Structures are given as structure tokens and as C-alpha cells.
Structure 1
């Protein structure tokens, strides 16, 4: 098992940015040899006021207080097998929050904290949690529908690391295909997780037909808000 944080360890991060009504994101960094690699947390407010934390990142206390002002922390989602680094301190801070992950990630996530749900627990018509087809249930996605449009929140299957910082991050982003030139599926993620390319490609194409799809929020790199439908179509075509 990879080393997991037991304490609230704050790495460099930006401000909480609002993307839509009840939808926020925070761009953070994780230390690596010779640089920092970008990571991203997404926050969604449900109709009942509770917050969903996707790919949890510890923030500075002022930012955490700002976050808590938006609503109680109801769910902490580990969107993939490798996104469990800070689950323990988050669960310690919010013991009543439910831990959610995709079914194929349950064993890995359980090494950090007990899992409460592997299927959609939200009961919210506008926020849909789903296991991504074709990857043995190891990756999850969220569809967040608002009056202004739809946001797809996805994890390690699409990356958009356009500005890697430091030699180590630049090498990793380029060698592993983390979307330095354009959004793409990292080859390491494809190799490790993709078991049925046809099923995954179909899922990407189905998401591309979402009414008023405005953006794709990824766990590594910039938010994709330019022609997100075509990005999904292109990556689906590359899987064939």
C-alpha cells in the first residue's frame, strides 16, 4: 500500500473557484521529486444543502472555513484507487461524512478508511454518481446538471496538465501522457484500468451528448471548458 497521510497536511493550493451554482473547484499541488504535480478537488452542493467533496485535498484553515460556510460536509468521494492520500484526516475532521467510491476501488480505499457506499447515495436528481464502464469499476464520475448547463467531473481517465511545474512534473506529464498539448487519456491510466475499450468509448460518447455540456473537470490539470463534447468524442475515437 502506498503511504497515506494520517494528519492534515496542507500542500500549496489556489483559491476556491466557483464554476457554477453549487459547484466549486480548488487547484492544488502534490510534492514530487524536482517539482510539484497538479491535483484538483471539486465540491458539489446537493439540493438538501450538503456538500460532496470529490478527491479531497486539505486546505488552509481560512479556505476550509470558507468551504464550511457553503454547507455541511456530507460525502467524501475517492474517485479512483489512487485518490486516497488524504482520506484519513478528512474523515477525522468530518466523522459524520460518508465515504464513497466506485465498487472496484473499494478494497484500495478501505486500506485508508471504511467505505460507506459504492453506488449513488445522494438521492439528488441533479447530481449523478456513477462507476465508469470498461474499467472494472475502479474509476467514478459525476454528472452535475444545473440550469446553466452540465458539468462532467471525471478522474484519472482524462488529464489536462498544460502547465506542469518543475523538471519532474514536466517529465511525468509528457512521458505518461497527462495532456500537455491537449486533453488526453494518460497511457498509464489506460494500461492500468481500461479493460473494455468499447464500453469506455461508448460511455465517453454518451457523456458527449449531454444537453448543454459546459465543462469537464479533471483531477489533474485545468478545467476543460472549450468544446468539451469534441474532447470526449476525440478520446473515444482514439480508444477504437
Structure 2
């Protein structure tokens, strides 16, 4: 039995806005403080003006999902947005060899041995291939960094672990309920996990500037990888979730 009640149906495209979709994936277990902590997974798909698909934090690739993706457009970009979100990049690259793989800071080291074929490192500014349609900000810490993206046409913000928002009613395991409570990542007050904030202690001014950039973009919705995402009221949700650094 899964520890977390998944966001069914999984492994299928779900529309979010014009040219924006999510795919809710299976549960994955990460080691945390000696525990196996289960996470629901979620990827995001943007379709660009020329029909190219930009895929953020790919989830497991099933035959049915591959057919849906091929019907949607041609996969050109595969993005690993932080050192925890690269696991299925290899499977997608094998299926879509024409796609270019992009790595956030720290991903190459984390993925070594699992996937060593990253082709482009993400920096402070969006690469020219998508700069006119997708903006980005790099939130850097001492041992963890994440790149956050904005789809300009729909004003959809995409984060990964900088906000986690687990719904208590979906958690079946007592240990998971305990860990999400002490981590400060329970809906309706999901935010950056307390332990993860340690990596930003020396970079608070930079992180504050990064968050202000996100707010200045005035996103309408904000997608997160784990838990309930924000279908509306993205700006007040960001202000609430990042109050620890503002």
C-alpha cells in the first residue's frame, strides 16, 4: 500500500493552463534522517510556440504517457531543476534522444553514475533556446540549489522542493505524518522544509531577492512537485510560504 494517497489518475497529462500540463507520478522513497520518506511526484510540461515540449522534473515514463507526449509535440528540453530531481531523466533521454538535457547546480554530482549525460548547465539567466517564453531564477545555497521557472504566456510558476505542501488527509503512514509536521511542510501551510533552510543561512539576502523576483512576476498559479499545488492565488501563497526569509 502506498503511504501517500496519490493524485489519481497518475502517469497522464492533466491541463493546467494554455500550453501547460502536469503529470502526477508514482510515489518515490527518499532516505531522510534514517527513515525512508515517501514522496508523491509531479512533473510539468510547457509547449512552446513552435510546438517543442519543455519537460520539468520528469516522472516515470510509461508507454501510455510516451504516446500522450508524442501526440502533444516534440520533446526538446529535459530539465533537472535541483539535485533531488533527476531520477528519470535517463529513461526520457533514451526515449527521446533528440531532447537536450539541462542540469541545475549540483545535479551533475548528485546524478553521477545514474546519468552522466547532462549537456547544459543552468545558470542565472534562461538559455536563449527558451528565454523569450520561459524565465528563471536560480536560488542557491551551500549544499542545495534550485532553479525556479515561469511560463510567461500563462504566468505559471514552477517550483520543486523550495515549497513542499503535503496534505495530511492523504498520508496513511504515522511516521510520514510526523516527519511532515516537524519539517513544516503540511498543507495549508506548506513551505521550505526547516532542514533545507540551513543551506540558505549565509544567502538570505540573495534568496530574498530571488523571492521578490518571483513575486514581481505576478504568477497566477504555482506548481510544486510534492503535495497540493496552487491553482489560484499564487502571490499570497508565495508570500506566506517564504515569510521565513522576507
Structure 2-normalised TM-score? Answer: 0.81
Cα deviation, residue 54, structure 1: 0.6
2:198 aligned to 188, 191, 208, which one?
A: 191
Cα deviation, residue 79, structure 1: 0.7
Determine if the alignment matches structure 1 residue 114 to structure 2 residue 147: no
Q: Which moved more, 1:115-124 or 1:215-224?
A: 115-124
Determine if the alignment matches structure 1 residue 48 to structure 2 residue 55: no
CA–CA distance in 1 between the matches of 2:196 and 2:37? 21
Cα deviation, residue 27, structure 1: 1.5
1:18 aligned to 15, 20, 23, which one?
A: 15
Is the 8 Å Cα contact of residues 108 and 116 (structure 2) preserved in structure 1? no
CA–CA distance in 2 between the matches of 1:78 and 1:194? 24
Q: Give the match for residue 28 of structure 1.
A: 25
Q: Give the match for residue 6 of structure 2.
A: none
2:222 aligned to 211, 216, 234, which one?
A: 216
Determine if the alignment matches structure 1 residue 173 to structure 2 residue 170: no
Which runs of 5 or more structure 1 residues have no equivalent in the other structure? 1-11
Q: Give the match for residue 7 of structure 1.
A: none
Structure 1-normalised TM-score? Answer: 0.82
CA–CA distance in 1 between the matches of 2:72 and 2:225? 21
1:203 aligned to 199, 210, 232, which one?
A: 210
Q: Which moved more, 1:103-112 or 1:59-68?
A: 103-112
Alpha-carbon spacing, 1:135–1:96, altered in 2? closer, same or farther (3 Å): farther
Cα deviation, residue 84, structure 1: 1.7
Is the 8 Å Cα contact of residues 134 and 197 (structure 1) preserved in structure 2? no
2:92 aligned to 86, 90, 93, which one?
A: 90
Q: Give the match for residue 5 of structure 1.
A: none
RMSD: 2.5
CA–CA distance in 2 between the matches of 1:197 and 1:70? 40
Q: Give the match for residue 160 of structure 2.
A: 155
Count matched residues: 226
CA–CA distance in 2 between the matches of 1:38 and 1:196? 29
Secondary structure of the structure 2 residue equivalent to 1:224? coil
